[in-house]
Amino acid sequence: MDRTLRRVAIVGSSRIPFCRAYSGYENETNLSMLATALGGLAERYGLKGERVGEVVAGSVISHSRDFNLAREALLDAELSPKTPGTSLQIACGTSLQAALMLGAKIATGEIDSGIAGGSDTVSDSPVVLGPKMQKRMIALSRARTVGERLAAFKGFSLGEIAPVAPSTQEPRTGLSMGEHCELMARHWGISREAQDLLALRSHQNAAAAWEAGFHDDLTVPCAGIYKDNNIRPDTSLEKMATMKPAFDKRSGKGTLTAANSTPLTDGAASVLLASEDWARERDLPVLAWLTMGAVSANDFAHGDGLLMAPTQAVSDLMRRSGLGFDDIDLFELHEAFAAQVLCTLAAFEDEDYNRDVLGREEPLGPVPVDKLNIFGSSLAYGHPFAATGARILGMTAKMLNTQEKDRALISVCTAGGMGVAALVERAN
């Protein structure tokens, strides 16, 4: 039995343009958006009617009808019905985690190809009724007589039909992600000005990438949308400075605003992975290699910092690979909030944090600004939760290839105090 691990090729990616919630995709669903992204991938790489080893994809905000999302989307995208689909959810790290899972299967020979993806729509959020009304509706569905139907609504009050709004609060703390990030910014001394500057740079870099045509072969139109609609090339520090705090509105110390936080976003993305032989046999490109991954978690409910877990995943990758930050050419850090990125960068350099949290004798070190999110990231493109990892992975593979860089580090923070990280190397 051959136990040699195979290299995992990143062949290419496809996503739909990302849209601010309640704008371009109000009539779209997780399924329709993911199917469009997968369909673009299938069209580009000749996969229509072809069997792929597995599609792993998911969504964070989902309806009960999305229970078999990956499988239904691949069928709508006209992949072979013999292609299995697995639905997955690990908050904002969903599609990057999907890629790591598929990568492990490809490396060990279980499958020869796989597609990782994710889709999320805030515009089509499920409307949920309270527990009393839910129980009444279940009782009504089981009723067989008029008396049983009437009994199902005994003691009914109009307040029971009020919908329960979707929430981003952490169940263990009752705080939203933005409120948690405010605490992190305060702990690390991250200023409002530094956050706005990072956000401005993200918009400028993303706008330049679109203008240069970088995204032309990475995106497929959806619902008449051809371009991300959140990018603000005309914004300025002066405009950003007028924004009021979005999460800490009372203390007078709030620094996170709508300008330096990701907006609620709709979108979908996908990435095609394969063994080298599978890609070469089909005359498909190999842009880069997915070489290593890590998933981490921390005790955020007791003060670790909700969005700081990626530092542990990154430290793990560096330790296992024997690499240091000097060996990394591109740093692709998901921008949930500008403050989250800046806290992470500060932690990488902090001696106490590296010793006490990461177990390192020496700090990981600084990240040069000219290597960080050079084509912009989530603050500009937007953040459809489950789709972001696939967007970043697809972009990174192409960036390494076109920029002739050798190695990239990807980091994605998630709800629940978790982080997903990956190392990607250019295929020479």
| pLDDT value, residue 166 | 65
Burial (CB count within 10 angstroms: exposed 0-12, middle 13-18, buried 19+), residue 410: buried
Q: What is the mean pLDDT of residues 185-203?
A: 98
Which is the catalytic residue, given 92, 181, 222, 343? Answer: 92
Distance CA 204, CA 210 (A): 10
Q: What is the mean pLDDT of residues 221-238?
A: 97
**In the annotation, is 215 catalytic?**
no
Count of residues in the chain: 428
| pLDDT value, residue 28 | 98
| pLDDT value, residue 125 | 87
Q: What is the pLDDT of residues 402-422, one digit of tens each?
A: 999 999 999 999 999 999 999
Among 332, 313, 315, CA closest to 324 = 315
Distance CA 241, CA 195 (A): 11
Residue with tokens 């009539």: 27
Q: What is the pLDDT of residues 324-345, one digit of tens each?
A: 999 999 999 999 999 999 999 9
DSSP 162: S
| pLDDT value, residue 382 | 98
Lowest mean pLDDT among 86-90, 124-128, 328-332, 337-341: 124-128
For residue 189, pLDDT over 70 is answered with: yes
Q: What is the mean pLDDT of residues 91-104?
A: 98
For residue 167, pLDDT over 80 is answered with: no
48 near 38, Cβ under 8 Å?
Answer: no
CATH no. of 177-213+291-426: 3.40.47.10
Q: pTM of the predicted model, to two decimals?
A: 0.94
For residue 1, pLDDT over 60 is answered with: no
In this prediction, residue 110 has a pLDDT band, given cuts at 50, 70 and 90, of very high
What does the block give as tokens for 317?
Answer: 């990758």
Distance CA 294, CA 288 (A): 18
In this prediction, residue 18 has a pLDDT band, given cuts at 50, 70 and 90, of very high
**In the annotation, is 222 catalytic?**
no
Q: What is the mean pLDDT of residues 22-47?
A: 97
DSSP 62: -
Q: What is the pLDDT of residues 56-73, one digit of tens each?
A: 999 999 988 999 999 999
Separation in Å, CA 296 to CA 117, 273, 383: 20, 23, 21
Distance CA 108, CA 101 (A): 11
| pLDDT value, residue 157 | 87
Say what angle helices 338-349 and 309-321 make with each other, to 10 degrees.
Answer: 50
Lowest mean pLDDT among 148-152, 160-164, 250-254, 293-297: 160-164
Percent of the chain at pLDDT > 90 equals 89
47 near 273, Cβ under 8 Å?
Answer: no
**In the annotation, is 92 catalytic?**
yes
- Beta-carbon neighbour count of residue 65 at 10 Å? 12
| pLDDT value, residue 2 | 62
- In whole numbers, what is the pLDDT of the chain averaged over residues? 96
Q: What is the pLDDT of residues 345-364, one digit of tens each?
A: 999 999 999 999 999 999 99
Separation in Å, CA 71 to CA 51, 63, 134: 13, 15, 28
312 near 296, Cβ under 8 Å?
Answer: yes
Q: Are strands 8-15 and 288-297 parallel, antiparallel or unpaired?
A: antiparallel
| pLDDT value, residue 179 | 97
Q: What is the mean pLDDT of residues 320-327?
A: 98
Distance CA 313, CA 181 (A): 19
Rounded to 5°, the CA angle 52-53-56 comes to: 95
| pLDDT value, residue 395 | 98
| pLDDT value, residue 131 | 86
